[in-house]
Structure 1
Amino acid sequence: MRLDKFLKVSRLIKRRTVAKEVSDQGRIQINGKVAKSSTKVAVGDEMTIEFGNRYLTVRVEELKESTKKQDADEMYTVIKEERIEREMPFKDEFLS
């Protein structure tokens, strides 16, 4: 299954077009390698997604062509979720 379709069906990202944009920006890694929207996803793959100010790492548990909302979270297991601490540029200049 393609990465962009997995992200949509699993509801990690709501729309496939958004999933394609995020993956084509290099913000998703599968098994430690940067993945594009057309990258094939397999059961057991470990995926890290950069969402603005956090990283979400999940393991693919199963692949389905479509799911109901309540069943979507069965497609993956959250391994780790961490916040990204970024410094604001020029922060000191504005405070002076």
Structure 2
Amino acid sequence: MHESPASPESQRLDKWLWAARWFKTRALAAAQCDRGRVQVNGHPAKPAKEVRIGDVLRIELERERREIEVRQVGLQRQSAPLAQGMYLETEDSRLARERQAELRRLSPEPQASRQGRPSKLDRRELQRMLDRTLD
């Protein structure tokens, strides 16, 4: 039996994520879906899940979570400015992302400034700190 193609009101999740430029390839989008890092309307979604206009997606990227609402479907991959019109980030998500960026700016990770192995002085300072915590 021949299956009918998806209607223009819906699109495969992995294809939509790729077209909206959330991931560089469809394979990466599918892998993130399989790992449970993409949710549709609050439920983990497989790559073949059909998304529709109005669906809310939660996407976990490296350091942040984004919550977006689908605005357009059925489009091929386009330029970045046009792809941004395919979705709208929720206000809560935008505020949380800005808050996290501000926290990262104010308190950078200590290891971010380090390069290579610790020096002899660094090792001695670490040992002193460990000795104090164990006492």
3-state SS of paired residue (1:41): strand
* More displaced stretch, 60-69 vs 1-10: 60-69
User: 2:49 maps to which residue?
Assistant: 39
**Structure 1 Cα separation of the partners of residues 54 and 83 of structure 2:** 16
* C-alpha deviation, 1:49, in angstroms: 0.5
**Number of equivalenced pairs:** 88
* Structure 2 segments unaligned to the other structure (5+ residues): 1-10, 101-126, 131-135
Map of 1:90 onto structure 2: none
Displacement, 1:53? Answer: 1.4
Partner residue, 1:72: 83
Identity among equivalent positions (%) equals 30
Bigger Rg, structure 1 or 2 = 2
Structure with the higher fraction of residues in strand conformation: 1
Q: CA RMSD in A?
A: 2.1
Instruction: State the distance in 2 between where 1:63 and 1:40 align.
Output: 10
- Gap regions ≥5 residues in structure 1: 84-93
Name 1:63's counterpart in structure 2.
73
Per-residue CA distance 1:6-42 (angstroms, 9 max, x = gap): 0000111121010000001011111011111111100
TM-score by length of 2: 0.59
Q: Are 2:36 and 1:26 equivalent residues in the alignment? A: yes
